[in-house]
Amino acid sequence: MVKHVSDETPLIPTKDREQISRNLSYPLGAEAISEALRDSPQFPQLSISFYARPQSGPVDPECIILAGIGCRGRDDWSIWVSAVPSDLAAQARRFALQHGLQYLRSWLQRRRDDTWFLHWHRCAMAIDPITNEGVLAEFEDNRLLEKLPPISLIG
């Protein structure tokens, strides 16, 4: 049986959910992600994994990558959400809901030629707890392709 967020939106299935300590929180759940990405062409192929540790990527070392989407082939799309320190979870969630999920949705809707699928691509959102900024970025393999200007988390 497929679970639904609303009457129209199915819930993206959870592939894995690691246990986390009390001082960590997942800033996003499957419901918010499913609602935001429901119109993407890859929606039926998506699954979500929740990790206890932030995923790595070539962004500033102080940044905490909190969520993203990866593609390793035309039919191999996955979403991940990383646990963040509990004191940063509300900030991370607000950034994801206001900016990050829109960026992921637009990234999914881009047209791609066959050569694009020859590489591992990721699109991610991160927060920098030192500067109180959110970061949106795209990677090819482990190379940074695009990093949008930082967005203030204050306000």
What is the structure's pLDDT at 69? 95
Cβ-based neighbour number of residue 79 at 10 Å: 24
**What per-residue string of b and e applies to 108-146 under the rule 16 or more CB within 10 Å gives b?**
beeeeeeeeeeeebbbbbbbbbeeebbbbbbbeeeeeee
Helices vs. strands in the chain: H and E counts, helices first: 3, 10
What is the structure's pLDDT at 1? 43
Which strand (E) or helix (H) includes residue 30?
helix 30-37
pLDDT in tens, 70-105: 999 888 999 999 999 999 999 999 999 999 999 999
Question: pLDDT: is 16 or 8 the higher one?
Answer: 16
pTM of the model: 0.89
